[in-house]
Amino acid sequence: MKMPAASARMATQLAPSVQVSGLYVAAVPSVATESAAYLTLKNTGKTALILTGVSSPAARVGMLMTMKRMGAPGNALDMTAMKMVTDFALRPGQSLTFAPSGAHLMLSRLTGPLSVVGQTVPITLNFRGGAVLRLAAPVRRLQ
Amino acid sequence: MQDSPPITVRPWYVSLIFALIAVAALLGGVWLYARIQNPFPYYGTTYTPPQTAPAFSGSDQDSRAYTFAPQGKTTALFFGFTHCPTICPLTLTYLDKVRGRLSPAQQKDFQIVFVSIDPERDSPAQLKSYVGFFGTSPASKMLGVNVPEPQLAAVARSYGAGYSRADTGSKTEYQMNHTTATYLIDRRGQLRLLWDYTQLSNLERVQADIQEVMR
């Protein structure tokens, strides 16, 4: 499909200087209403980048989440809590990995099942200043 | 003439047997000593001494009455919930992978039990779909158990497991804060060790723990 020239140019203008790797969305049972997107972001620009949001047509709500361990480290019987944060900052050159055991891009209230490996899910990342990154995430089982 | 005293000659194979017995006894002693000095290097956090795993009752994913009586099978027990976006899928994925690394005979003697800490939302049907997705072996089915409140609170407490609702700003939606340990219970019903979910990616060592406990 041919993109109208104007919107293509706009997308270029607003694209953040960031390198994406290892992107996927975790396949979950068809009854699940939550999943998450995982990836590594690397700030390849000269200024700090601040990730402020995630959204996807696959979920009604996208949230930036961190995982927080309560209590002393090393105790397997400590509680773990997920906590929503408003943003993630990346200094120039800095990498940030979202992984199942830590920070993740939560997709909540899924609009349809994400149980089929091989599906592709559009993911949009918003950065402070209006930069937008549109990605297509493959659905795959956690490794 | 006098006969010289009879010399008893021990046949060579008797000497060989004595020698082998001596070597075996020595090696056995060394092994025993090493084992006492240095028990199996478990990867998980061990219960020393092992404790009896508390029994509990609820319904399984087929809505049948279920009582966890640990006797018989080696069990990996996990408390989680199906709205859990990360830790629970990860834990069940890894436990299923480890199961797949066991021998067919060991797999028959191994079970993965998922107890919901969100019984209000996790109906048996919900649990069935959930454990059916992560448990990939028809021969060694993953079990999903719904224990209603207030019994659940007592069960969790008896295992040292904790959970609490965490609101996400909506009345109908909430997440759960929870402990993330998987408990390994031997076939005699003794709690032997626990792994934190962050340890489970080391499949080799988790497998070694299970096989040691199965001995």
Q: Which residues of A touch B172 (CB under 8 A)?
A: none
Interface probe for B, chosen from A66, A106, A142 (most Cβ of B below 10 Å), is A142
Per-residue pLDDT at A7:
44
What residue spans define the domains of chain B? 45-214
Q: Position of tokens 């996807």?
A: A56
Taking CB atoms and an 8 Å cutoff, what residues of chain A touch B162? Answer: 77, 79
User: Å from A93 to nearest chain B CA?
Assistant: 27
Out of A63, A65, A79, name the one closest to residue B177 (CB).
A79
Burial of A114 (0-12, 13-18, 19+ CB in 10 A): buried
Nearest to B162 among A34, A79, A101 (CB): A79
pLDDT tens for each residue of B168-209 = 655 556 777 777 889 999 999 999 999 988 889 999 999 999
Please answer yes or no on whether A29 and B93 come within 8 Å at the CB atom: no
Q: Determine the distance in angstroms separating the CA of B196 from the nearest CA of chain A, rounded to an integer.
A: 5
**pLDDT tens per residue, range B82-96:** 988 888 999 999 999
User: Which residues are within 8 A (CB) of B109 and not within 5 positions of it... i.e. 6 or more apart?
Assistant: B72, B73, B74, B187, B214
Task: Provide the pLDDT for residue A12.
Answer: 47
Tell me the Ramachandran region of residue B62: left when phi exceeds 0, alpha when psi lies from -120 to 50, beta otherwise: alpha
What pLDDT, on a 0 to 100 scale, did the predictor assign at position A75?
67
CB atoms A80 and B83 under 8 Å: no
Backbone angles phi, psi at B32, to 5 degrees: -60, -45
Q: What is the pLDDT along chain B (215 residues), one digit of tens a residue?
A: 556 666 677 888 999 999 999 999 999 988 888 777 667 889 999 998 889 999 999 999 999 999 998 668 999 999 999 988 888 999 999 999 999 999 999 999 999 999 998 999 899 999 999 999 999 887 777 999 999 999 999 998 899 888 877 766 555 567 777 778 899 999 999 999 999 888 899 999 999 999 999 98
Q: Which residues of chain A have pLDDT under 50?
A: 1-13
Which of B86, B96, B182 is the mutation pick for testing A, counting most A CBs within 10 A?
B86
Count Cβ atoms within 10 A of the Cβ of residue B168 and give its class: 0-12 exposed, 13-18 middle, 19 or more buried.
middle
Q: Which residues of B touch A62 (CB under 8 A)?
A: none
Type of residue at B187: R
* Per-domain residue ranges of chain A: 5-70+79-135
pLDDT digits (tens, 9 = 90+) for A99-111: 988 899 999 899 9
Q: Looking at the complex, does the CB of residue B48 fall below 8 Å from at least one CB of chain A?
A: no
Q: Do the Cβ atoms of A67 and B86 come within 8 Å?
A: yes
Architecture of the domain delimited by A5-70+79-135: Sandwich (2.60)
User: What does the pLDDT read at residue B84?
Assistant: 86
Q: Which fold has domain B45-214?
A: Glutaredoxin (3.40.30)
Q: What is the ipTM of this complex?
A: 0.79
